[in-house]
Chains A and B, each alone.
Chain A
């Protein structure tokens, strides 16, 4: 009898678990389904009551009109340039600094590393006003360079690369030096190829962050045609009578690259995030 109740208990728990997790998956996916389907609907069908997921005709109207309604192509181009340039430059500087902090000796090394770690304690929001004034005074507002420079290195990236380089076996440099390689060659030809997994994770981390960021690009651009996707769509949302078909099409298009990357490299995404969690 006792065995039976225990068995029943386990069975009930199993069912509860599947129902709960399934329900949560539904809550997560259903809004995305609405977003996708709405983007193919005509505006008249979207505002009909009661709201039905599949109703009316479907077409590409929203996807055609979005390019005229807002400077969507410009937003897209700006976001690609902003995210790519920041990611590549930051990866280079993060890797160089991480390598130097891990495997080289130079005066002031410990103080500098402490300062770098200290920047993680300073929220961007605290320095955003002076940062805007700086960029404004440099005449770099509304430029790609102005958007790139403050983000061209990242304390967490340096920290992560340093941890990785520390874990590589000692004596790798010596082997290179015996072969007559200079410091730059050792770094580029021996060290960097060894830390590909870390670089891939950091690449995803940087790119996704810049692609999705709102406040920083909003600050650095006052010109409508210089805005990134999040800043542009947020502004569109605020100033127009909202046409949900168009804005859902814009949302779908701006999610697409990240979603595709996630489907292709899911493991790296999750690993990268788990790694950021390990820094604590």
Chain B
């Protein structure tokens, strides 16, 4: 057996040296916190660590019977169920419409992408202003259409739809750009062949565009679902989870449990639940989407 040469050993050491900083950071700030998360979820303690109590699985039992948790989970699911189809649907339609090159398409593409580079905080502040029932221009327009101006962000019925629409407004351009890159990767010859067979616009869209775009489409969908389950910024700025906890999402519940009520153990229990839910949902969606791909092949 040949032993490694001195030079090879030196190169291996250099390789390790190159990845060392990243590995140390991941260990200290991702893997250790992840493990601590599971440990915390079994404890009860306050921020100063004065009273640490081992709770066994009591936190998890509490979670299952906690109305606030189920409410936040439902709100998160509600947010996801409406925002993902709206977001991806709009992004896909727009992407198909501006696929053709030209100055107008180029201009629209640049414009639609602007909200995507802005911070969700600024966007939320801006929209809180625009839908303000007293001074907002959008509620004024609605009043011209005969809709009585109400404070949508303070309405248990309309707060969540408003938060959803603001999210769609901000993020459709991001998804559009990704889908557009996918669209441009589809070979023109497929469309030409379909046209020879007499396929019309909608047929071409359903039989060629959608199936060929499936890998990109499934990425944007899974990505948006994961993002939706972590929604926080717009809720924090626009409603603070209100009114009547109607817009309180899981992450907002974790945040307020940990940093407003200072119950870090129970916050970690919700965080572990969020981790499991996100993992299950994204795996499930991805499996479904990739199976769809195989069927078409």
Residues of chain A touching chain B, judged by Cβ–Cβ distance below 8 Å, are: 13, 17-18, 20-22, 24-25, 27-29, 31-32, 34-35, 38, 46-51, 53, 93-94, 96-97, 99-101, 104-107, 109, 112, 115-116, 119, 121-134, 136, 149-150, 152-153, 155, 158, 183-184, 187, 208, 211-215, 219, 229-231, 233-234, 237-238, 244, 247-248, 251, 254-255, 258-259, 262, 266, 269-270, 273-274, 276-280
Q: What residue of chain A has the Cβ atom nearest to residue B98's Cβ?
A: A21
**A260: min CB distance to chain B, Å:** 11
Taking a contact as CB atoms under 8 Å apart, the answer to whether B94 and A93 are in contact is no
Q: Which of B248-297 contact A (CB under 8 A)?
A: 251, 254-255, 258-259, 264, 267-268, 271-272, 274-275, 278-279
Q: What residue of chain B has the Cβ atom nearest to residue A135's Cβ?
A: B29
Across the interface, A125 reaches (CB within 8 A) one of B110, B118, B251, namely B251
Taking a contact as CB atoms under 8 Å apart, the answer to whether A234 and B236 are in contact is yes
Contacts of A280 in B (CB 8 A): 215-216, 218-219, 222-223
Taking a contact as CB atoms under 8 Å apart, the answer to whether A153 and B25 are in contact is yes
Taking a contact as CB atoms under 8 Å apart, the answer to whether B215 and A126 are in contact is no
Taking a contact as CB atoms under 8 Å apart, the answer to whether A28 and B37 are in contact is no
- A181 vs B176: C-alpha distance when bound (angstroms): 45
Given contacts A22-B108, A104-B11, 4 further A-B contacts (CB under 8 A): A106-B13, A127-B36, A129-B267, A212-B117
Residues of chain B touching chain A, judged by Cβ–Cβ distance below 8 Å, are: 8, 11-16, 18-19, 21-23, 25-26, 28-34, 36-37, 40, 47, 94, 97-98, 104-105, 107-122, 125-130, 134-137, 140, 169, 173-174, 177-178, 180-182, 201, 215-216, 218-220, 222-223, 226, 229-230, 232-233, 236-237, 240, 251, 254-255, 258-259, 264, 267-268, 271-272, 274-275, 278-279
- A133 vs B263: C-alpha distance when bound (angstroms): 12
**A95: min CB distance to chain B, Å:** 9
- Name the prevailing secondary structure of the B interface residues: helix
- A44 vs B111: C-alpha distance when bound (angstroms): 31
- A234 vs B125: C-alpha distance when bound (angstroms): 8
Rank and list the top 7 A-B pairs by shortest CB-CB distance, nearest first: A280-B219, A277-B178, A212-B119, A106-B15, A104-B15, A100-B18, A130-B36
Taking a contact as CB atoms under 8 Å apart, the answer to whether B122 and A255 are in contact is yes
Taking a contact as CB atoms under 8 Å apart, the answer to whether B137 and A47 are in contact is no
**B17: min CB distance to chain A, Å:** 8
Contacts of B23 in A (CB 8 A): 97, 112, 115-116
- A166 vs B141: C-alpha distance when bound (angstroms): 55
Taking a contact as CB atoms under 8 Å apart, the answer to whether B271 and A183 are in contact is no
Contacts of A152 in B (CB 8 A): 21, 25
Contacts of A255 in B (CB 8 A): 118-119, 122
Taking a contact as CB atoms under 8 Å apart, the answer to whether B177 and A38 are in contact is no
Report 28 cross-chain contacts, Cβ distance below 8 Å, ordered by A residue: A21-B104, A21-B108, A24-B108, A25-B112, A28-B169, A38-B129, A96-B18, A97-B22, A106-B15, A109-B15, A112-B23, A125-B232, A126-B34, A126-B274, A128-B254, A130-B33, A149-B25, A152-B21, A183-B11, A214-B237, A230-B121, A247-B129, A258-B118, A273-B113, A273-B116, A273-B177, A277-B219, A280-B216
Contacts of B25 in A (CB 8 A): 93, 149-150, 152-153
Q: What residue of chain B has the Cβ atom nearest to residue A276's Cβ?
A: B178
- A94 vs B36: C-alpha distance when bound (angstroms): 26
- A149 vs B17: C-alpha distance when bound (angstroms): 18
Taking a contact as CB atoms under 8 Å apart, the answer to whether B230 and A123 are in contact is yes
Taking a contact as CB atoms under 8 Å apart, the answer to whether B135 and A46 are in contact is yes
